[in-house]
Amino acid sequence: MSACTPTGSRVASARTDPVLGAIPVAIGICALLVRLQITSLPPTDAIVALVALYGAILTGSLLAPSVARSGPAPLDRTTALAVGLAGLSLAVFASGRPPGVPFSTWAIPMSLLAAVAEEALFRRAAYGWLARYGVAIAVVGSALLFAAVHLPFSGLAALPVDFGAGLLFSWQRWASGTWTVPAATHAAANLMAVILR
């Protein structure tokens, strides 16, 4: 690329280059795996480190190249959100209380930040990176990545639940055309885990 190439051309090539799209996704996933080490820190240090970690994941995911959707979204955002929240409520009703999150002053804001950062990573950056290969790959692939990242924390027994949640969030991403709808549903799920502990 010459020095005379317009900046817009560099942005367009970043959006179509699969390697450039994979880099922020890989970095975000590695960052999420660091959470295991952070949770062993003293509480105040852990909170500061987690806020920094989730903030960095959110920022990196928002700056990552993403493939634009061609055509209108199948559902409006409100309908996609309502379907996701109904699915979440049905899952809680069928399976009982969600797994508890230890309560602290920071439990609610931290769980909301985690939900938004994870959805920016999986439903904006990863979904956007995978969308070049088709909707099915984007939906299933981002759900698999989501479930795999939660494996060290939730264990193998929770893998089907995490994959199911990932599928719901990825479906919402496809149906609404935006990552913010699954972020709202994920935030509601994390909030329920704190409140109903």
Element (H, E) at 65: none
At 88-133, the pLDDT tens digits run 888 777 665 545 455 567 788 999 999 999 999 999 999 999 998 9
pLDDT tens column, 13-44: 445 577 777 899 999 999 999 988 888 888 88
Determine the pLDDT at residue 20. 79
The per-residue pLDDT for range 70-82, each reduced to its tens digit, is: 778 889 999 999 9
Q: What percent of the chain has pLDDT above 90?
A: 54
Is residue 122 within 8 Å of residue 169, measured between CB atoms? yes
Q: Could you give the angle at which helices 107-119 and 180-195 cross, rounded to 10 degrees?
A: 150
| Mean pLDDT value across the chain | 84
- How far the first Cα of the chain sits from its last, in Å, is 55
CA–CA distance, 112 with 117 (Å, rounded to integer): 9
Q: Say what the pTM is.
A: 0.85
